[in-house]
Amino acid sequence: MNVVSRSGKILREKGVGGLFTRLMARVDRSFHKRFEKYYVRQFHKLYYDNPKTVHGIHWFGTKIQKLPLDLWMYQEIIHETNPDYIVETGTADGGSAMFFASLFDLRKKGKIITIDVKKCKAHHPRVTKLVGSSTDPKIVQRVKRLVGKKRVLVILDSDHVRDHVLKEMHIYSQFVPKGGYMVVEDTNVNGHPVNPIYGPGPMEAVEAFLKQRDDFVIDLSRERLLLTFFPNGFLKRVR
C-alpha cells in the first residue's frame, strides 16, 4: 500500500523502508491533528471576539447570535431526529426561533416553544413565546402541557452560570426521547477557549451533569465541522 507524505510524495511500504514509511505517516497525522486543533482554536477566538460576526448575523432580518456552522448542524439534527417540538430557553431577539420556524415551514410540521425573562418582538405562527424564568415550575408545567408526549429537541441558551444551566439540564432532559438531543449552548466560555474570566458556566454544567447521569452522552460527531460554539454540548440520549 502506498502512503502519501505531507509533501505529497508517494512512499512505498517494503521492509525497513516500509516501517519508516508507516512511522512517517503516523508523524504526519499527529502533526496535522496538533496544528489543526491550534488553528481552529485561534480562529474560534478571532471569530468570537469580532462584533461583526457573533453580533452581526441575522436570519431574514432578525438578529441571531449563533455560529452558522452550528445552525447547519441543527438542520442535520432536525432532519435526522424528526422532532415535533423544539424547546428553547433564551429567546433574546428571536433569531434562532425564527430560524427553526423556517426549517419547520420546509418540513410542513413542527412547533417551537421559546422561553425568556424578556418579551421578544419576533413573531411566527409556529412559535410560542413564554415569558419567565426557564426554571420556574409554572413555566415548566406549561411546557409539559404544550408538548405532551411529542418528540422534543431541547436547546439551552439562557443564563450561562453553571448552577442555572445544570438545573435546566435536569429539568428539560425529561422531554428528550431516546435518540434525541439536548444541546447546551455556549460551552466555549470560561476559557473553552473564549472568555477565560467568565467563571464556571455551561461546560462545567455539562461535566457535572454527566457525572450524575448515564442516560446522555456527548456526540462528538456533531463537532465534525471543526468549529463550534458548543464543544461537548451536543448531548444525545442513549437510554
Q: Tens digit of pLDDT for each residue in 79-125?
A: 999 999 999 999 999 999 999 999 999 999 999 999 999 999 999 99
- CA dihedral for 100, 173, 228, 120, sign (positive or negative): positive
The residue written with cell numbers 446522555 in the block is 216
Mean pLDDT of 46-73: 95
- pLDDT of 16 higher than 80: no
The CATH architecture assigned to 58-237 reads 3-Layer(aba) Sandwich (3.40)
Cell numbers linked to 43: 480562529
Amino acid occupying residue 63: K
Mean pLDDT of 210-230: 98
Q: Rounded mean pLDDT of the chain?
A: 92
Contacts of 235 (CB under 8 A, 6+ apart): 181, 182, 183, 184, 206, 209, 216, 217, 218, 219
Cell numbers linked to 34: 496538533
Whole-number percent of the chain with pLDDT over 90: 83
Mean pLDDT of 60-74: 97
Mean pLDDT of 161-177: 98
Q: Return the pLDDT at 35.
A: 83
223 vs 7, residue with greater confidence:
223
- Per domain, the residue ranges of the chain are 2-48, 58-237
19 vs 185, residue with greater confidence:
185
Q: Return the pLDDT at 186.
A: 98
pLDDT band at 185; cut points 50, 70, 90? very high
- pLDDT of 15 higher than 80: no
Q: Return the pLDDT at 220.
A: 98
Q: What DSSP state is assigned to residue 187?
A: T
In this structure, are residues 120 and 92 in contact, taking their beta carbons and an 8 Å threshold? Answer: yes
pLDDT band at 1; cut points 50, 70, 90? very low
Q: Return the pLDDT at 3.
A: 45
3-state class (DSSP) for residue 19: helix
201-223: buried (b, 16+ CB within 10 Å) or exposed (e) per residue?
bbbbbbebbbeeeeebebbeebb
pLDDT band at 7; cut points 50, 70, 90? very low
Q: Give the largest CA-CA distance in the chain.
A: 72
